[in-house]
Chains A and B, each alone.
Chain A
Amino acid sequence: MQFEPQLTKRFNIENSYTLNVALQHGAYASLPKLFSKKPEEVIEEIKISGLKGRGGAGFPCGMKWSFIPKNSTKPIYLVVNGDEGEPGTFSDRAILSKDPHLLLEGVIAAAYAIQAHVAYIYVRGEFFREIQILNQAVEEAKNSGYLGSKIQGSDFQLEVFIHQGAGAYICGEETGLLESLEGKKGQPRIKPPFPAIQGLFGCPTIVNNVKTLSSVPWIIANGGAAYAAIGTKDSTGTHIFGLSGHVQNGGYWELPFGMPMLEFIETYGRGVKNGKLKAVIPGGSSTPVLTAQECEDLTLSYESMAKHGTFLGTGGAIVINDQTDMPQILKNLTHFYAHESCGQCTPCREGTAWENRLLQKIIQGEATARELDLMVEIAGNMEGKTICALAAACAMPVRSFIKKFRGEFEKYLKPSGVTVGIQL
């Protein structure tokens, strides 16, 4: 597919993470144009571009920025969500290590648009090497006048700090991340108030994903309309799509939205490994699973995913071949969510672990159809009833796996009619 890479253009250049090399290949080129615009014009440009949040929820980025109150007397913060933890997702890590200056360029643009003068980049704790690279990039940018006061001759001032996470999936949720940044457990906050009004340290805050912000420099340089012309009508621009699981060639590739999923798997993943395609989890482990058949007319776009009852999520697809036992895979996932539930809301705290325990019982061959139905009921009682989406992120795989592959679960069941007493 012919297109101009925006996010990965410097990935294959040696030492692209250093300022010198990045500058030679166009880093920070969008800044003069950025500072020639008023902040509200920048927001407008992003709105025109149709850029959606790449962290998973897909919320329109320009609209999010416009929620920051005008004439705030409190400081405004920009927070970068680099807590990449959704199973099946790994491209933020690539940007952080291969082109940190692209992210910083996006950070400058976003901070300018919302008039934030401090930005925190929250990076998941495991990315130790990436943090080293990022720290060096910030240092270099500061020394060369890309960060600090009067950035590139403008009146704009911005300080960027790197904050290392410490191992908690839930900190990828924006308010969980803010809590963590404030030195607390990463437990999501009840909303309202929303972060744009009362976020970090009680001040107006925008939290954006690494890829979202890395998409911004191109939009500033080329205009929102040009960005909107790429991809599909409702999924504009490019995205770094990932493939993992049973593919010959796992990896990530920047593509405009709209490529058919099967073509993606064939062309880039070089096909399914050790068998035929059975299922795809299209956008990180939380998104509902699709059968091979459902994938036939699926494209990599927000709207096609929605049409199939699932989500684009983070754009990291997990491919599953026909040799795979689906209950085992679901158990792997329920274990993940039970382990990562922050423990705050009752339905998620108890529900994730309950699902995991029930599934374990099913797989051990000790359950009847009642347990399987109970799993679906519990999923219903979790979804949409908690502060954040982690409960739903567990409920969606549970429901879709059992609905679409019920036969595989039933193979594990004891014949119905056998009474199983409640163990106390």
Chain B
Amino acid sequence: MTIKIKINDQPLEVPEGINILEAALGNQIPLEHFCYHRYLPVAGNCRTCMVELEGPRGRALTIACNTKVTEGMVIYTNSPGAQTAQKSALEFLLLDHPLDCPICDKAGECKLQDNYMKYGLYDSERMVPRYFKGGKDLSIGEHIILDQERCVLCTRCIRFVDEVTETSELGIIHRGHESTLTTFPGKALDNAYSGNTTDICPVGALTLKEFRFKQRVWFLKKTESICTKCARGCNLWIEQNRETVFRLMPRENPEINRTWICNEGRMSFNEINDHRIVKSQLYGQVDDLGSMVEKIQNILEGVEKEKILGIASPWATLEDNFILRKLFKNRWNLDHLVSLLPPLGESDSILRLPQKYPNGVGLQVLEIPELSKSIIEKLNDRHFEVLLVMENEFWQFASLELQQSLFTIKHIIVLTTHQSDVFQKIEAVFPVRAFAEKYGTLINAMGYLQKINPAINSYPEIVESSIFIARLAQKMKIPGFEFETPVEVFNALSQEQSIFPKIRFHQIPSHGLFIPLDTNGVAPAPFSGHQKVDNVFVRGHQFK
């Protein structure tokens, strides 16, 4: 249902039930705001989103965030009355702000800065000495630094810890202009989602220790991606400069993660940069890629096709697993391609799911089963001569018994992204691209097919698992592996797999494509018990 309203004399049709602020922002009509956040209860305290409404007794000021649009509503965001109110609210906010932008990490994405440039631009006229509002550089948690004098007391962070995590670590003490954001003395802001408070802080009051003083935000280039730390598949921005990832930021997706991510996902940016393997290794020693490929080609061509065991991966993309499966299907025995899943981990009713990998559903779609009893029996019988492992660091989580039997296989070939000590025991280790370096698709536990995109290209010489296997297959003169990029692989697999709509990679929307699967419903919807967000905004408008 849509209704007709007018903003600044411009006729608009907007969804029924949304508020004026969303109606304006969704139609590219700028309107200043601090305390409003789409996924938090309305507080209405910053008083910056003031608009004028035409009424029976003339125009009246109101806050846009707490006023729902009604049929025929006539709204002004740019009338003199509204503009004075917006401007003066901003002036009040900036009154005792330290203006330490040169040393503030929020500079460049600070609402005070942005709004001043857009709506303020008045001459500063405090006329009295500045009042100092509290402490700087206070460590209030493992990841969080609080700067009290930068705080504009919008209560976004408080509403987040009250309503989303329900942990209530933050509060404002004192009254009036002495109001100060704080934790209870001696108690930390240390919930599994605490990093989000730094995203929603409109100013530099809450900053992330891991990002402080690391990089100016205007140098960062953003790439749409997906978090790989669990089966939720939270939407991310990978933010990098000069091939170094400085932070992972949540990317709004109303159905999957709203504007939140967990700390574990957020901190995984380090893994993108650190401990990468970039050269092929023979028993732990760097060796020439060409000769190693030739070597394993000989092994694979020389061995009986029944004696090859493949391990697919819930961390790899659909494309990677698809190509591996295709090779087993076309050349070897498909029954000998299995996956290994790590034990279940911590979960909650907000975002985190116990499956600590991003593409378990993808394996199910490709009908790659988990390691079965019969395979284990064959392993114990020393049946296999070749083990081909793709992006599955089983040595990190598999039982010692299983690891022992796997390591008894004569020829072990591993495609992987990160360095490990076990490589000394492995005949051939080939580096492949990690998730921040490649195109690909993942299916999350709710059944959304989602895209990852390359954010960095630190190691142009290495390729994706799918392309590595495709090239190997081509070398082995196996037809049907003429792929140069994962995008081509996806386009082929979407034709082949009946479960997918026949779409091409670039047609997958950035917020994912819902695929009706038997497995849907396995994962709980996020935020069970939390405020519903249906019909609260203009679809497609990203909230900042």
A residues near B (Cβ < 8 Å) are: 168, 185, 190, 192, 338-347, 349-354, 357-358, 360-361, 367, 370-371, 374, 381, 384-387, 420, 422-424
Contact = CB atoms under 8 A, between A and B. Distances in A.
A423 B50 contact: no
B172 to A, nearest CB: 7
B43 interface: yes
Given A371-B127, A420-B127, A422-B124, A338 B176 contact: yes
Given A347-B88, A350-B93, A386-B47, A367 B175 contact: no
A347 B175 contact: no
- Determine the interface band of chain B, counting residues with CB < 8 A from chain A: 35 or more
Nearest to B48: A346
B128 A358 contact: yes
A344 to B, nearest CB: 5
Given A381-B88, A385-B85, A346 B127 contact: no
Nearest to B93: A346
B130 A424 contact: yes
Contact of B127 (A190, A344, A347, A367): A367
Q: Which of A352, A357, A374 has the most CB of B within 10 A?
A: A357
A103 B124 CA distance: 52
Contacts of B47: 345-347, 385-386
A341 B46 contact: no
Given A343-B153, A422-B126, 7 more contacts: A346-B153, A353-B131, A353-B176, A381-B89, A381-B91, A385-B47, A420-B127
A345 B45 contact: yes
A161 B88 CA distance: 43
Interface string B58-94: 0001010010000000000000000011001101110
Contacts, number: 106
B127 A374 contact: yes
Nearest to B50: A385
Contacts of A185: 172
B47 to A, nearest CB: 5
A360 B88 CA distance: 22
Contacts of B126: 354, 422-423
B203 to A, nearest CB: 13
Given A385-B47, A385-B85, A343 B174 contact: yes
B175 A350 contact: no
Nearest to A187: B45
B241 interface: no
B371 to A, nearest CB: 53
B231 interface: no
Given A346-B93, A347-B89, A381-B92, A190 B44 contact: yes
A421 B124 CA distance: 11
Contacts of A358: 127-128
B517 interface: no
Nearest to A192: B66
Contacts of B153: 343-344, 346, 349
Contacts of A353: 131, 176-177
B95 interface: yes
Nearest to B95: A350
B179 A343 contact: yes
Contact of B177 (A350, A381, A420, A423): A350
Contacts of B128: 354, 357-358, 360-361, 423
B125 interface: yes
20 contacts: A190-B43, A192-B66, A339-B176, A341-B175, A343-B176, A345-B47, A347-B88, A350-B93, A350-B96, A350-B177, A354-B177, A357-B131, A358-B128, A367-B127, A385-B47, A385-B61, A387-B44, A422-B125, A423-B126, A424-B130
Q: Which of A354, A358, A384, A420 has the most CB of B within 10 A?
A: A354
A381 B42 contact: no
Given A343-B153, A385-B47, A423 B174 contact: no
Contacts of B61: 384-385
Interface in B159-178: 172, 174-178
Contacts of A386: 47
A350 B151 CA distance: 13
Contacts of A340: 175-176
A74 B11 CA distance: 40
A241 to B, nearest CB: 31
A385 B130 CA distance: 24
Nearest to B98: A424
